[in-house]
C-alpha cells in the first residue's frame, strides 16, 4: 500500500524554537562554530490512504495553520546545506503513531493501516562529515532506539511469524551450563538455577522458555527483593533481614493514620472526609542509562500506574523526580565504554519526565538534582507519585475463582522484555547492546485515557482487584494476582502492536500503559462500555481458577504450567555476609578563607547547591489547580521552597504536603550518618513548610551498588539508620523500593561502584493549607534566628570541603532527641502564625539558605556569628534538622524557642547585601546580586531559556 509523506514546519517568519535550542546546544556543548543555522520539520508517514486524505489530515490534524505550514509528498526544507532525518527504529513503540491512527479514524479516515513520525533537521554552514556525525551521536540519535533514515520504507507494517516455544534441557545441564544460561538475561545465581533444575527433575520434564523466563522474572532482585529478605551475618552475628527490620519498626509505631503499609503498589494513609492519600517512589536507573528519554518517561508512567493500581484505584495528584548525574561538563574521554554522556542524560531525562507528566495533566512539583563524578557510569533516576481515593476503596483487592482476567490499555509489543531481570544486574560496556529490548517509549495520552476510565469503573464498583503490568508484564501482574487462587491465561487473545512475538515474549513484555484487572463476569459488559467511551481497549485474556497453578496457553498449547507455591516461595533462602570496608579518608582542613566573597560564590554555583529553576520551569506544576505552595516563591518567583503543598479537593482548605531528602556524598563516606541525614532532611523540608511531624509518613528508596560484602555492610548500616529514625520520631515507613545494581564493570575488569543513594520521601496531611509558610524573607527589620542542634565541627562531605579540596570521614551526626523536640516546637510556632519565613539548612549550609531567603524577599541581612566558632564552619556546616526562621522580634523568638537549641543571628535589612560580623568585627559583606548570579549560572548554561 502507498505511503503518503506529510512534512510540517514552523512558518519561516516565526522562530523555530526546537531548532534554536538545538543550535545553541551544538555551539555551547559541542563547540562547533561552523554551523550558522538550523531548522526542523516533523515528518509523518501515513500508509493506506490517498493523497487527498493525507492533505485532509495535514490540514485538520497534523499542522496548525496559525504558525505552521505543510507539504504532502514534497520536501519542506529546501535550501539547507545538510538534511538529516532521524526516526525510531522499527519495532520501537512511537507514541504518536497510535494517536494518529485513532485521531484519523475519529475524523472519518479509517482506511489507514499504519503511521509513523520522525524529525528532519536542516543544517546551514560548512559542516564536515565528522561534525555532523558528532552532532548525531551526541545530541540527536541514541542508537539503542533511533536511526538516521537513509532509505524510504516500503511499508510501516511490522510482519513476522511467532517463534515456537522452545524446551530448555535444564535437567542435563552442569553448573557451567546453568550459569551460561543465566548470564545475559536471567541474572539468577547458581543456587537459584539449581533449585529450578531440581523442580523440573521432580516433574520429570524440562521447562519451556516461557517457564524459565517466568521464574527468572519472579525471582529477580527487582521483583522479589531477595537481598532485603536475606538473613544477614555481621561479625559472626545473625541479624534480621533488612525488609523485616523496616516492617517491624513501622508496625511498632502503630501510627493511627496508616491504612496500608508494604502491602500494595503504594502506601496509604487516612486523609480527611472519608478520603485517603497514597504514595509510591520508584527508580528507573538501568533503562534511563541506555535510553534516557524513554527510560524517564516509562519511569513516570510506571509509578503513576502504581497509584492507579492501589486499592481499587486512585487518582494521581502529584509527581516528583530526584536525579543523580555526573557533572554535565565531564570530559568525554572520562565517560566509560557503553555509557552515555551526562550532559545528554540530564537533558533527555528531564525531557522524558516533563513530557509524560505534562501530557497526562499531572503536576511535577517536588524534586532535586544531585551530582557526583562516579555517576558517570550510571545515573540514578527516581520518580514518585501521590494519589487520592475514597478510604473505603483503599484496601488491596483479591481475585476470586471465576473472576475474569482482564487487560486494559495499551497493546503488547517487544518493548521492555527482560526489563525486570536487566534492572537486577550490573551494568557493563555490553549492556547498551545486549539489553536494548528493555527500553520503551511511553504513551502518556494512552495512560491518561486509561486512568479516567478506571476511576469511573472504580466508582461503579466494577473492579475486584487491580495492578499494573510493570516489571515482568503479564507474568508479574497475573502471577501475583493469582497467587492465592490460580490463574489461566490465553496469550493468543492479547492485543498486539505487531505480529511475530513468541509466546514468552507476549507473556514477559513490559509494554507500557497496561493494567491488569480481576472482574466479576457480571460486570464485564459495563466495564467494556466505559472503556469504549474513553477510547480505551479492554480484553478478557483468561480467568482466575482454584487450581493454585499458573497456566499459560498459546492457542491450544500449554506453554507454562507452574505451581504457585514454587513460583512465589521456591526461591532458596539466602544468608549473606556483610563486612565493613576500610575507608581511607585523609583528614585535611582548609585554612580560614582570605577571600570570603569568592568562597561564597563558589558555594552558590556548586552543582549540588545551585538553582534548578530551568528544570522545574519545564514541568507544569500548576495543572489540576491544586498548588497551594509552589516550588518557587518570593517577590520575583525564583526562591526555592522546601516542600510542596497541594489542596487536591477543590474548595477545601485541607491538603497534602510532599518533601524528600538524599545525599549520596554523605552515604559514600558514612552510610549510617548519611542515611540519618537523608531522613532528617526529608522531614525538615516538610516541617519547615508547616507540616505536623506527627502526621507524616515515609517512603524509602535504596539505590545501591551490587551487594558484595562491603556494599551489603553499608546497606545494613543504612537500614539500621532508618529503623533508629522511626523509633526516635514515630514516623513510619509505609512503602519502599530497592535497586541493588548500581555497579559498572568495565571491559578490563575494573569496577565503578556508583555512589549509594538512600532517598527518603515524606508526605502527610495538613488541616489548613493557609497555615503554611514559604522560604522568602517578608520584610526588613525582622529577627533572624537559627534553630536546631548543629554538629558544627563535622564537615566531611560538605560543599565547603569540596570547593576547598579538604576532606574528612567525620560527617554531621543528627541528635535525634533534639531533632524531635525542634520539629514539634517549629510546627507549633508556624501554626501560631509566629513565623514569617522558614528555610531548612542543607547543601551549602547556613550561607546558601540565607542567600536564598534574601533572594526571595529582595532584601539583605546583617548576621552576627557567635564567638568561639570557626566562622567558615559556622557558615558552611550542613547538619540537617536545623532551620533559619524570620520572626517579628527577638522577645518573641526567645519565648517560642526557649526549650530547644537556638541562636539569634541578626536582622533583615533594606540593603541588598549580606554582612557578617563576629565579636563586633566585620568579617565580610557580599551583595545578594553576586550570589544570585552565581547560583543561577550552572543550570542556565545547560538548559538556557528552555
Q: What is the pLDDT of residue 424?
A: 40
Q: Tell me, yes or no, whether 311 lies in a domain.
A: no
Residue 120 among known ligand-binding residues: no
- Give yes or no: residues 144 and 168 share one domain: no
Residue 782 among known ligand-binding residues: no
Q: What is the pLDDT of residue 426?
A: 52
Rounded Cα gap, residues 819 and 829, in angstroms: 15
Cell of 389: 481515593
Q: Which of 925, 914, 905, 922 is nearest to 861 (CA)?
A: 914
In this prediction, residue 434 has a pLDDT band, given cuts at 50, 70 and 90, of very low
Rounded Cα gap, residues 564 and 570, in angstroms: 9
Q: What is the pLDDT of residue 416?
A: 61
pLDDT tens figures, 719-775: 999 999 999 999 999 999 999 988 898 888 888 999 999 999 999 999 999 999 999
Q: Which residue has the cell 555481621?
A: 234
Highest mean pLDDT of the ranges 377-381, 425-429, 524-528: 524-528
36 three-class SS: strand
Residue 736 among known ligand-binding residues: yes
pLDDT-above-90 percentage for the chain: 82
Residue 789 among known ligand-binding residues: no
Rounded Cα gap, residues 383 and 698, in angstroms: 15
pLDDT tens figures, 827-881: 999 999 999 999 999 999 999 999 999 999 999 999 999 998 999 999 999 999 9
Query: Looking at residues 777-783, what average pLDDT do you find?
Result: 97
Residue 440 among known ligand-binding residues: yes
Q: Tell me, yes or no, whether 164 lies in a domain.
A: yes
- Give yes or no: residues 128 and 170 share one domain: no
In this prediction, residue 687 has a pLDDT band, given cuts at 50, 70 and 90, of very high
- Give yes or no: residues 48 and 136 share one domain: yes
Q: Is the dihedral of CA 496, 498, 503, 509 positive or negative?
A: negative
- Give yes or no: residues 100 and 182 share one domain: no
Specify the pTM.
0.92
Q: Tell me, yes or no, whether 791 lies in a domain.
A: yes
* CATH classification at residue 40: 3.30.1280.10
Question: Looking at the 3D structure of the chain, how many domains does it have?
Answer: 3
Rounded Cα gap, residues 766 and 640, in angstroms: 20
Strands, DSSP E only, in 372-470? 380-390, 404-409, 427-428, 465-468
Q: Is the pLDDT of residue 227 over 80?
A: yes
Q: Tell me, yes or no, whether 873 lies in a domain.
A: yes
Q: What is the pLDDT of residue 118?
A: 96
pLDDT tens figures, 586-632: 899 999 999 999 999 999 999 999 999 999 999 999 999 999 999 99
Q: What is the pLDDT of residue 129?
A: 93
Query: Looking at residues 295-317, what average pLDDT do you find?
Result: 95
- Give yes or no: residues 221 and 163 share one domain: yes
Q: Which of 803, 687, 806, 705 is nearest to 752 (CA)?
A: 705
- Give yes or no: residues 112 and 196 share one domain: no
Distances (CA, A) of 220 to 35, 182, 477, 571, 670: 48, 11, 14, 10, 29
Q: Which residue has the higher pLDDT, 298 or 466?
A: 466
In this prediction, residue 511 has a pLDDT band, given cuts at 50, 70 and 90, of confident
Instruction: Tell me phi and psi for residue 627, to 5 degrees.
Output: -70, 115
Residue 102 among known ligand-binding residues: no
CB 320 within 8 A of CB 383: yes
Q: What is the pLDDT of residue 440?
A: 64
Q: Tell me, yes or no, whether 734 lies in a domain.
A: no
Q: What is the pLDDT of residue 728?
A: 97
Q: What is the pLDDT of residue 946?
A: 42
Q: Tell me, yes or no, whether 577 lies in a domain.
A: no
- Give yes or no: residues 93 and 195 share one domain: no
- Give yes or no: residues 127 and 221 share one domain: no
pLDDT tens figures, 909-935: 999 999 999 999 999 999 999 999 999
Residues 6+ apart with CB under 8 A from 319: 300, 303, 304, 353, 357, 362, 363, 364, 365, 383, 384, 385, 386, 619
Residue 750 among known ligand-binding residues: no
> DSSP code of 62?
I
Rounded Cα gap, residues 147 and 140, in angstroms: 9
- Give yes or no: residues 818 and 844 share one domain: yes
Q: Which residue has the higher pLDDT, 434 or 216?
A: 216
Residues with active-site annotation: 222, 284
- Give yes or no: residues 874 and 804 share one domain: yes
Q: Which of 769, 740, 771 is nearest to 757 (CA)?
A: 740
Residue 396 among known ligand-binding residues: no
Mean pLDDT across the chain: 93
Query: Looking at residues 575-581, what average pLDDT do you find?
Result: 93
Residue 403 among known ligand-binding residues: no
Kindly report which listed range (77-81, 130-134, 183-187, 735-739) carries the lowest average pLDDT score. Answer: 183-187
Residue 280 among known ligand-binding residues: yes
Q: Is the pLDDT of residue 423 over 50?
A: no
Q: Is the dihedral of CA 881, 886, 890, 896 positive or negative?
A: negative
Q: Is the pLDDT of residue 417 over 90?
A: no
Q: Tell me, yes or no, whether 297 lies in a domain.
A: no
pLDDT tens figures, 623-657: 999 999 999 999 999 999 999 999 999 999 999 99
Q: Is the pLDDT of residue 240 over 70?
A: yes
Provide the residue range defining the domain that includes 837. 773-946
Query: Looking at residues 425-454, what average pLDDT do you find?
Result: 68
Q: What is the pLDDT of residue 741?
A: 86
Among candidate residues 101, 116, 148, the one where a domain is terminated: 148
pLDDT tens figures, 444-476: 999 999 999 999 999 999 999 999 987 789 999
DSSP output for 348-397: HHHHHHHHHHHHHT--EEEEEEEE-GGGGS--EEEEEEEEEEEGGG-SPP
pLDDT-above-70 percentage for the chain: 97
Q: Tell me, yes or no, whether 882 lies in a domain.
A: yes
Rounded Cα gap, residues 932 and 928, in angstroms: 6
Q: Which helix (H) or strand (E) holds 254?
A: none
Cell of 346: 540530564
Q: Is the pLDDT of residue 671 over 80?
A: yes
In this prediction, residue 10 has a pLDDT band, given cuts at 50, 70 and 90, of very high
Instruction: Tell me phi and psi for residue 467, to 5 degrees.
Output: -155, 165
Q: What is the pLDDT of residue 748?
A: 84
Among candidate residues 526, 551, 570, the one where a domain is terminated: 570
Q: Which helix (H) or strand (E) holds 790?
A: none
Cell of 417: 522484555
pLDDT tens figures, 154-192: 999 877 778 889 999 999 999 999 999 998 778 899 999
- Give yes or no: residues 185 and 87 share one domain: no
Among candidate residues 523, 555, 570, the one where a domain is terminated: 570
- Give yes or no: residues 414 and 537 share one domain: yes
Q: What is the pLDDT of residue 438?
A: 43
Q: In the chain, how long is the greatest CA-to-CA distance?
A: 89
Instruction: Tell me phi and psi for residue 683, to 5 degrees.
Output: -70, -40
Rounded Cα gap, residues 837 and 640, in angstroms: 12
Rounded Cα gap, residues 348 and 411, in angstroms: 25
* CATH classification at residue 794: 3.90.650.10
Amino acid at each position: 500500500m502507498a505511503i503518503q509523506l506529510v512534512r510540517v514546519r514552523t512558518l519561516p517568519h516565526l522562530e523555530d524554537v526546537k531548532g534554536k535550542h538545538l543550535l545553541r546546544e551544538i555551539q555551547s556543548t559541542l563547540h562547533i562554530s561552523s554551523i550558522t543555522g538550523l531548522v526542523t520539520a516533523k515528518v509523518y508517514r501515513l500508509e493506506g490512504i490517498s493523497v487527498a486524505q493525507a492533505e485532509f489530515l495535514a490540514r485538520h490534524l497534523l499542522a496548525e495553520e496559525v504558525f505552521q505550514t505543510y507539504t504532502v509528498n514534497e520536501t519542506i526544507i529546501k535550501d539547507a546545506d545538510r538534511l538529516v532525518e532521524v526516526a525510531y527504529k522499527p519495532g520501537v513503540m512511537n507514541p504518536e503513531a497510535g494517536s494518529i491512527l485513532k485521531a484519523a479514524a475519529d475524523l472519518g479516515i479509517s482506511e489507514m493501516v499504519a503511521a509513523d513520525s520522525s524529525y528532519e533537521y536542516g543544517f546551514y554552514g560548512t559542516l564536515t562529515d565528522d561534525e555532523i556525525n558528532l552532532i548525531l551521536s551526541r545530541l540527536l540519535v541514541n542508537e539503542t532506539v533511533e536511526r538516521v533514515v537513509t532509505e524510504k520504507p516500503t511499508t510501516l507494517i511490522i510482519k513476522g511469524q511467532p517463534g515456537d516455544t522452545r524446551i530448555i534441557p535444564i535437567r542435563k545441564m552442569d553448573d557451567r551450563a546453568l550459569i551460561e544460561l543465566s548470564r545475559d538475561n536471567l541474572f539468577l545465581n547458581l543456587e537459584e538455577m539449581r533449585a529450578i533444575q531440581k523442580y523440573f527433575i521432580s516433574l520429570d520434564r524440562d521447562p519451556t522458555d516461557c517457564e524459565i523466563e517466568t521464574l527468572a522474572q519472579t525471582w529477580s532482585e527487582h521483583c522479589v527483593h531477595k537481598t532485603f529478605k536475606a538473613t544477614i551475618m555481621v561479625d559472626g552475628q545473625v541479624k534480621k533481614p533488612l525488609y523485616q527490620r523496616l516492617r517491624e519498626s513501622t508496625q511498632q509505631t502503630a501510627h493511627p493514620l496508616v491504612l496500608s503499609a508494604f502491602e500494595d503498589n503504594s502506601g496509604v494513609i487516612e486523609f480527611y472526609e472519608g478520603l485517603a492519600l497514597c504514595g509510591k517512589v520508584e527508580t528507573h536507573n538501568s533503562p534511563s542509562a541506555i535510553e534516557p528519554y524513554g527510560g524517564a518517561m516509562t519511569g513516570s508512567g510506571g509509578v503513576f500506574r502504581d497509584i492507579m493500581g492501589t486499592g481499587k484505584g486512585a487518582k494521581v495528584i502529584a509527581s516528583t523526580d530526584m536525579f543523580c548525574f555526573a557533572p554535565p561538563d565531564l570530559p568525554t574521554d572520562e565517560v566509560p565504554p557503553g555509557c552515555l554522556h551526562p550532559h545528554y542524560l540530564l537533558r533527555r531525562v528531564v525531557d522524558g519526565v516533563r513530557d509524560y507528566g505534562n501530557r497526562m495533566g499531572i503536576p511535577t512539583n517536588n524534586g532535586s538534582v544531585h551530582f557526583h563524578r562516579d555517576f558517570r557510569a550510571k545515573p540514578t533516576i527516581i520518580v514518585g507519585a501521590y494519589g487520592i481515593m475514597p478510604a473505603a476503596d483503599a484496601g488491596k483487592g483479591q481475585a476470586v475463582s471465576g473472576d475474569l482476567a482482564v487487560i486494559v490499555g495499551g497493546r503488547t509489543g517487544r518493548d521492555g522484555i527482560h526489563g525486570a531481570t536487566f534492572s537486577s544486574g550490573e551494568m557493563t560496556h555490553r549492556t547498551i547492546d545486549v539489553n536494548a529490548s528493555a527500553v520503551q517509549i511511553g504513551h502518556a495520552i494512552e495512560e491518561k485515557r486509561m486512568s479516567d476510565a478506571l476511576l469511573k469503573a472504580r466508582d461503579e464498583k466494577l473492579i475486584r482487584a487491580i495492578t499494573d503490568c510493570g516489571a515482568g508484564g503479564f507474568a508479574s501482574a497475573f502471577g501475583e494476582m493469582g497467587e492465592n487462587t490460580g490463574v489461566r491465561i490465553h496469550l493468543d487473545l492479547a492485543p498486539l502492536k505487531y505480529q511475530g512475538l513468541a509466546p514468552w515474549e507476549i507473556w514477559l513484555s513490559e509494554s507500557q500503559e497496561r493494567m491488569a484487572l480481576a472482574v466479576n463476569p457480571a460486570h464485564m459488559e459495563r466495564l467494556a462500555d466505559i472503556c469504549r467511551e474513553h477510547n480505551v481497549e479492554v480484553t478478557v485474556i483468561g480467568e482466575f481458577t482454584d487450581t493454585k497453578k499458573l497456566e499459560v496457553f498459546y492457542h491450544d498449547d500449554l506453554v507454562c504450567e507452574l505451581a504457585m507455591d514454587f513460583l512465589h516461595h521456591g526461591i532458596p533462602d539466602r544468608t549473606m555476609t556483610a563486612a565493613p570496608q576500610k575507608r581511607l579518608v585523609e583528614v585535611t582542613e582548609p585554612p580560614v578563607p582570605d577571600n570570603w566573597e569568592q568562597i561564597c560564590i563558589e558555594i552558590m554555583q556548586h552543582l549540588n547547591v545551585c538553582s534548578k529553576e530551568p528544570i522545574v520551569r519545564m514541568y507544569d506544576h500548576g495543572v489540576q489547580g491544586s498548588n497551594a505552595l509552589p516550588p518557587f516563591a518570593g517577590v520575583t518567583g525564583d526562591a526555592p521552597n522546601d516542600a510542596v503543598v497541594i489542596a487536591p479537593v477543590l474548595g477545601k482548605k485541607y491538603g497534602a504536603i510532599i518533601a524528600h531528602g538524599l545525599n549520596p556524598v554523605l552515604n559514600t563516606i558514612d552510610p549510617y550518618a548519611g542515611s540519618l541525614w537523608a531522613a532528617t532532611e526529608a522531614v525538615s523540608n516538610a516541617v519547615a513548610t508547616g507540616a505536623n511531624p506527627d502526621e507524616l509518613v515515609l517512603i524509602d528508596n535504596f539505590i545501591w551498588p551490587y551487594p558484595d560484602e562491603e556494599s551489603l555492610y553499608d546497606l545494613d548500616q543504612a537500614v539500621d539508620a532508618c529503623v533508629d529514625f522511626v523509633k526516635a520520631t514515630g514516623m513510619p515507613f509505609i512503602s519502599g523500593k530497592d535497586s541493588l545494581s548500581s555497579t559498572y564493570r568495565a571491559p578490563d575488569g575494573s569496577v565503578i561502584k556508583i555512589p549509594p543513594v538512600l532517598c527518603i520521601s515524606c508526605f502527610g496531611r495538613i488541616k489548613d493549607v493557609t497555615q503554611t509558610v514559604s522560604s522568602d524573607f517578608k520584610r526588613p527589620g525582622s529577627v533572624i534566628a537559627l534553630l536546631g542542634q548543629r554538629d558544627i565541627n563535622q564537615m566531611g562531605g560538605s560543599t565547603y570541603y569540596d570547593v576547598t579540596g579538604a576532606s574528612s570521614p567525620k560527617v554531621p551526626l543528627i541528635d535525634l532527641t533534639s531533632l524531635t523536640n525542634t520539629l514539634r516546637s517549629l510546627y507549633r510556632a508556624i501554626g501560631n502564625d509566629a513565623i514569617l519565613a522558614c528555610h531548612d539548612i542543607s547543601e551549602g549550609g547556613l550561607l546558601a539558605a540565607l542567600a536564598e531567603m534574601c533572594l526571595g524577599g529582595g532584601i539583605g541581612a546583617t548576621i552576627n556569628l557567635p564567638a568561639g566558632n570557626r566562622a567558615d564552619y559556622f557558615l558552611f556546616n550542613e547538619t540537617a534538622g536545623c532551620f533559619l526562621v524570620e520572626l517579628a522580634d527577638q522577645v518573641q523568638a526567645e519565648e517560642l524557642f526557649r526549650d530547644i537549641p537556638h541562636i539569634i543571628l541578626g536582622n533583615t535589612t533594606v540593603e541588598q547585601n549580606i554582612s557578617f560580623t563576629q565579636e563586633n568585627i566585620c568579617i565580610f559583606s557580599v551583595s545578594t546580586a553576586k550570589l544570585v548570579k552565581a547560583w543561577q549560572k550552572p543550570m542556565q548554561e545547560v538548559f538556557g531559556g528552555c
